Each structure stands twice: as structure tokens, then as C-alpha cells.
Structure 1
Amino acid sequence: MNLARLGQLIRHTVLVIAFASGLADEVVYADQTWTIASDHPADTVAGRGVESFATALARQTGGALTGRIESRDMAAATDLVAAVLGDSVQVADVFAGTLASFDPIFELPTLPFMVNSVEESGRLACLAGPAYQRALSRAGLHLLFISPWPPTGLWTRQPVAAIGDIANLRVRTYDKSSAAVMGPLGAHATTLPIRDVEWQLHVGGIDAVLSSGDGAVGRSLQADLSNFSAIYYAYPVSFVVMSRARYDVLPEKTRRELDEVAMNARRAQWRSLPARIQANYAEMQRAGVVVNSTFDAELNMRLHKAGEARVREWLSRGSLGDAGIIKAFQNREAPAAQDSCPLDLIEVGGTIRG
């Protein structure tokens, strides 16, 4: 028997004994350090979200649980999920669109041109929250909180104002959905994780990037791409998750503390988003990036037609429940009373687009 297997057996035995004797709170879950991972840089909304979560976790539990932040250079989001399920990582921030292989519901936050403000982004997250939780649970994950991203725009070397400016661009997209939208506009779309973008720009593999350009990511794009088209493609989200099995065996007191930390982190992330968007735009302008939000009628029409086609395609693969979420969103319905969405979350942004 190898040492790793022996260690697992010892830990399992201690866990069983501790629970049987009623000492789980004091013995098993005292002074644990959890690895909290993200595949985005520290100075992004995702990186800052997990950092503040880790700080609050230690404070709320009196140091019984602490978080060690790691930036994981995973080949795919599924690798990060596997790390959580395998317990080499205890908590992870995972970009929603990269989970599409698990369930079509994870494509919802990046459906194009459906969300037009921070308030609408928060409302959609509230309406879809229970569906996200169920889908993540089927994958063996527990949803701690939903973390928002600034709206997605298009970074290019030359200004984009008309449809001809997009034709033949080699565009980095962040999921299959965005690739399917950019292709019909004449662009050559390539789906890449953010860590590969800077290198591909330098070697000439791409010459445009679909991204919010938040924080450190935006700074990495400024040297090569001096134009940002604020097309408001989508307001994406990430999911901060942990293993459902690990969550389920936590003592009740620890679960309550963890749930409170997660709820507060969610509120803080959404409340800070409008200011974060404005700070990103100010940073772009200081760096000499031209921010453009005015486009000709044909480009607007083509973008939104491509977006509508993408939404129809998604609905054809989704469930009746998925369609119901979009209907409720479009009808401005409130989340069901039994759903644990913080209703103040959907009011903090007002009608701010960014």
C-alpha cells in the first residue's frame, strides 16, 4: 500500500470516528487550509472575488478555515472541475461558458445581446440560479456564489464602426457560442482560454479579441490592440464552486458560516461591478485605447440578428425550464419567493451598462 493511499485511509478513519463521537466541529474541521483556485489573474473580478472570499472565510470561522489562493494554468475548465472533484483544489472560480459540455444551461450567461445592463445581468443570475445549482449538483459540485464579469467588447488593432471592419478579422472568442456569432459576420473565430491570448497576438495567430478586458487582462491587450468596441455582447458570469461531497459532510455550523460568507461575497461582487466597469474604461483611455460605442445601422442589425439566431439555436437544445427562464427574464418577472437570491442584488446596478 502506498503512502498516499494509507493517508487517505487514515483521514477517512479519523473522519468516521470524529463524526461518531460528535467531535467533528472541533477535531476534523479545525485549522484547515483550503486551496482556492482561479484560471484568471489576481487583478480581475474573478481573482478579486476569490481573494475577498478567502479573507472573509478566515474571519467568519475564526481561522478554523483559511484559503490559499492559487492561479491554476489548466488546459480546460473541466480540468479545474476535476481538481475540485479530486480534492486537490477545494474551491474554484470557473467561467460559466466553459462548462457548456456539462449542460446547455451554462451557455445562458453568454447568449449574445440579451442583457443590456448590470441590473439585467443580476436579474438573470437570480432567475437562473436554481437551474445553475441543479446542473452543478449533477456534476458533483456545490455552487457557493455567482460572480459577475463586466460586459464583453471587441478589442482590435483598427477601429470597428461598420460590418466591413469585422470581415476577415481573426478573432479570439471565449466559447462556442461566441464563435458561432462572429463567424457569420465574416470573422475567423478561434476559441482560446485567456492565458493563450497574449502569445497568439504576439505571433500573429489572432488580431482581435472578444473580451471584457477586465483589470490585468485589459492591460495585457493594450500594447497590441488600441481599439475597444463596446458592443455589449454579453455580461458573463463565473461560478465559485466546491465539491458537493465535501460540502455535504461539513458540520452544520461550518455550513452556515460558509453560506453566509458566500452570500456576502456575491453581494459585494455585484455591488462593485458598476465602479469596476468605469475603472476599466478609465484605464483604457489612460493607456491610449480608443473606446467606441457608436456603430452604423447595418453592423448593429447584423450583430443582433446573429445573436437572435444563436438564442434560437440554444432554445432548440435546452429544456422547457431553460425557455421559461428566458421568458421570465424578458417579462421582467421576479425570482420565485422560495429561491435564495438576494433581491437587493438586482437593484444595485440600476440601468448602468458600463
Structure 2
Amino acid sequence: MNVIPAALSSLLILISGIVSFHLSAATWHMPTPYDDQTLSTTIAREFAREVKAGSGGALHIRVRAGASLLKHPKIPQAVMSGQVQIAEMFIGILGDSHPIFKHDNIPFLATNYHQARKLWLAAKPEIKKQLREKGLVLLYTTPWPAQGLYTQKPIHALSDIKGTKMRVYSASTSRLAALMNTQPTLVQVPELYQAFSKDKVNAMFTSSSTGVHTRAWNYLDYFTKVKAWIPKNFVVANENAFKRLNLTTQIAIINAAAVAEKKGWEKIQQQELRDTRLLAENGMKVEEPSETLINELKVIGATMAEEWQQESPSTLTPVLTLYRHQKK
């Protein structure tokens, strides 16, 4: 009978543990449509590092930025089907599936970060419910800077922009473009330069950050700070993939997600100020909106809020009521 020496036995146990660890370690792919210069992608990479550390290396999340793995419209279905285990997307991209996902795309419903946070807290329970029905787990959100108007000429009233081709990226922005008497044209962020250069679009609502990251000064001249709304991205995981993880790894994800969301809401205001300054430094004319333009847009915002509420009164009326009570 062969007897394995104690030292060798200990070594074999150690090797076995190492092999088992590596076999059990997992890699998740996390597509995001935004490039490495955006705050949301920076936070996503920090989130991935926190998960790896918190899980003791059991889970590695590979962030695939700039639509390098999937274009934005393909991301929701990819994570729902389990093609990828985790993903970041614009909340409004799911607006056609349920109106609650449009909550942060209604002009002048929430125009500062305090209001935007209150609106998110009011909408969050229904958001989580709708995501669960799609087989998704909500992890965290990151807000964008307030949306401004980019144009090739100064805009002092809606009549100045009538008939132009407006870049849109969600159901809500399509409706806004129509109410402004412009032509809605779907264009994703990586395609902006080409779209404007080829006259596919002439104007857009987006953040100062998107303007900086796409070098908007190369294809547009004016940025009007209308602060129409404050949209958000969220990071979600496929529920089945999440449930297959051990408890330690699940907790690591939840903890890292809480840290990521806190960072996003804390850093976004600094980001907005910095990026607005960079637009001006690179030659864009950064302007305050005229009273006429703001009043006209507020009328459109009120119309869109009413239309939105009527899409699902039983779901959305409590959200609006709670939000309006909390923001006082």
C-alpha cells in the first residue's frame, strides 16, 4: 500500500484548490455603447474591478466600450437572451416596451439633479418590476448631464429650427422632434460625426459630455443650455446568470453597484461644468436659451408629460404623484 507523505499530500490539496478556483472563475462580457472618455464607462470599469476584488477573483467583468461588441439597439435583447450576462444601456431605449422607461426623457419634468434623483426614486420600483419581467436584474444607474440643444445656427425660437432634421435616439426624443416640427432621424452616438457631415441630421439634443466626446465643434457651431431633461443609463444583469453565481459573488456585485451609483450621482455635476467649458474652449458658441425658446419647449414638455401619463395611467399616475410630492 502506497502512502503519500504529509507534505506531498498538502501540496496536492493546494494545487487542487488552485485548479478548482480557476475552473470556477467566470468572465462576464459587458457591452456599453459609450466610449472610454465618458463618465459612465469610467464608472463601469471601476465597478468591474470592485466586483473582481470583492469576489476574490471569482468573477471578471470585461467592459466592452464604444459599441465594440454590440451596437446600442442590439444590447437589450442580447442581455435578455443571455448572449451577454451584463450590459449598460440608455434607459429610454426600452421606452417602446413600457412607458416607465421614458420617465427621464420628458422635457422639463426634472431639470436639475435634485429633481432627477427624486424622479428616479419614484420610478425605481416599477422599473425593477418591469426588468424582472424581462429576466433582468437592476444593478445601478448613472445620470447624464442635462440635455442641451446643438445646432448649426443660433436658435431663439422653435420657428428657427422648423423643418430641420433632428437626431433622435429613443421613442421620447422622436416625439419631441415631431412636436418641434422637425424631422426625427435615428442616429447612434458612434455615428454622429458621419451623420452631421453628410447632412443626414442638422440638430440634436444631447449632453455636453456627448458633445465633447464626439468633438461636436467639428460639425456644429452652437450649444444652447436649455437643460431640458436629465436622462440616465442603467446597468442590468441577466437574472439567470446572476442566480448561477455563488452568494459571495452576488454580494460583491450588489456592493460594487451601490458604490458605482453613488459615484455617478456625485460626479456628474462636475462633469457637466467641465464639458460645457471644453465646448466653448474648442470654438462652440455656448449660449443661454431665450425666454421664448424655453416657454415654447415647456409647452411641449407639458404635452409630452400628459401623453406619457395616459399611456398607462394606473402605473404612471402614482409615479408622478409621488415625484411631485417629493420634489417640493
1:88 aligns with 2:83: yes
Q: Distance in 2 between matches of 1:89 and 1:119?
A: 33
> In the alignment, is the contact (CA less than 8 A) between 1:104 and 1:317 conserved in 2?
yes
> 93, 110, 119: which is aligned to 1:115?
110
Taking structure 2 as the reference length, the TM-score comes to: 0.87
> 170, 173, 176: which is aligned to 1:178?
173
Q: Which has the larger radius of gyration?
A: 2
Give the corresponding residue for 2:290. Answer: 295
The 10-residue stretch of structure 1 (180-189 or 94-103) with the greater mean CA deviation from structure 2: 180-189
Per-residue CA distance 1:160-192 (angstroms, 9 max, x = gap)? 122322222211122121221232323222232
1:227 aligns with 2:227: no
Give the corresponding residue for 1:270. Answer: 265
> 143, 148, 165: which is aligned to 2:143?
148
* Counterpart AA for 1:41: D
Q: CA RMSD in A?
A: 2.1
User: Following TM superposition, by how much is the alpha carbon of 1:153 offset from its aligned partner in structure 2, in angstroms?
Assistant: 0.9
Q: Distance in 1 between matches of 2:41 and 2:83?
A: 19
Give the corresponding residue for 2:96. Answer: 101
SS for the counterpart of 1:331 is helix
Per-residue CA distance 1:281-313 (angstroms, 9 max, x = gap)? 11111111111123133x222211111111111
> In the alignment, is the contact (CA less than 8 A) between 1:172 and 1:209 conserved in 2?
yes
Identity %: 21
> In the alignment, is the contact (CA less than 8 A) between 1:37 and 1:91 conserved in 2?
yes
User: Following TM superposition, by how much is the alpha carbon of 1:233 offset from its aligned partner in structure 2, in angstroms?
Assistant: 1.6
Alignment of structure 1 residues 150-229 onto 2, 5 Å? 150-214=145-209, 218-229=213-224
1:307 aligns with 2:290: no
Q: Distance in 2 between matches of 1:146 and 1:254?
A: 20
Give the corresponding residue for 1:17. Answer: none
> In the alignment, is the contact (CA less than 8 A) between 2:32 and 2:72 conserved in 1?
no
> 275, 280, 286: which is aligned to 1:280?
275
Q: Distance in 2 between matches of 1:28 and 1:318?
A: 48
User: Following TM superposition, by how much is the alpha carbon of 1:145 offset from its aligned partner in structure 2, in angstroms?
Assistant: 0.6
Structure 1 pair 81–202 and aligned structure 2 pair: CA distance change class (3 A):
same
* Counterpart AA for 1:279: R
Per-residue CA distance 1:104-158 (angstroms, 9 max, x = gap)? 1101111111112111111211221111111111111111111111111111111
User: Following TM superposition, by how much is the alpha carbon of 1:213 offset from its aligned partner in structure 2, in angstroms?
Assistant: 3.6
> 308, 318, 334: which is aligned to 2:312?
318
1:60 aligns with 2:54: yes
SS for the counterpart of 1:128 is helix
Q: How many aligned positions are there? A: 308
Give the corresponding residue for 2:44. Answer: 50
SS for the counterpart of 1:307 is helix
> In the alignment, is the contact (CA less than 8 A) between 1:43 and 1:216 conserved in 2?
no
Q: Distance in 1 between matches of 2:44 and 2:205?
A: 24
Give the corresponding residue for 1:241. Answer: 236
Q: Distance in 2 between matches of 1:309 and 1:238?
A: 24
Give the corresponding residue for 2:35. Answer: 41
> In the alignment, is the contact (CA less than 8 A) between 2:208 and 2:279 conserved in 1?
no
Q: Distance in 2 between matches of 1:321 and 1:118?
A: 24
Q: Distance in 2 between matches of 1:278 and 1:63?
A: 37
SS for the counterpart of 1:214 is helix
Q: Distance in 1 between matches of 2:86 and 2:217?
A: 31
Unaligned runs of 5+ in 2: 1-16
Give the corresponding residue for 1:32. Answer: 26
> In the alignment, is the contact (CA less than 8 A) between 2:164 and 2:203 conserved in 1?
yes
> In the alignment, is the contact (CA less than 8 A) between 1:154 and 1:228 conserved in 2?
yes
Give the corresponding residue for 1:339. Answer: none
Q: Distance in 2 between matches of 1:145 and 1:87?
A: 19
> In the alignment, is the contact (CA less than 8 A) between 1:36 and 1:70 conserved in 2?
yes
> 302, 323, 328: which is aligned to 1:329?
323
> In the alignment, is the contact (CA less than 8 A) between 1:144 and 1:239 conserved in 2?
yes
* Counterpart AA for 1:179: S
Unaligned runs of 5+ in 1: 1-22, 335-354
* Counterpart AA for 1:290: K
> In the alignment, is the contact (CA less than 8 A) between 1:43 and 1:215 conserved in 2?
no
> In the alignment, is the contact (CA less than 8 A) between 1:174 and 1:210 conserved in 2?
no
Q: Distance in 2 between matches of 1:302 and 1:184?
A: 10
Runs of 4 or more off by more than 3 Å in structure 1? 26-30, 73-76, 85-88, 215-219
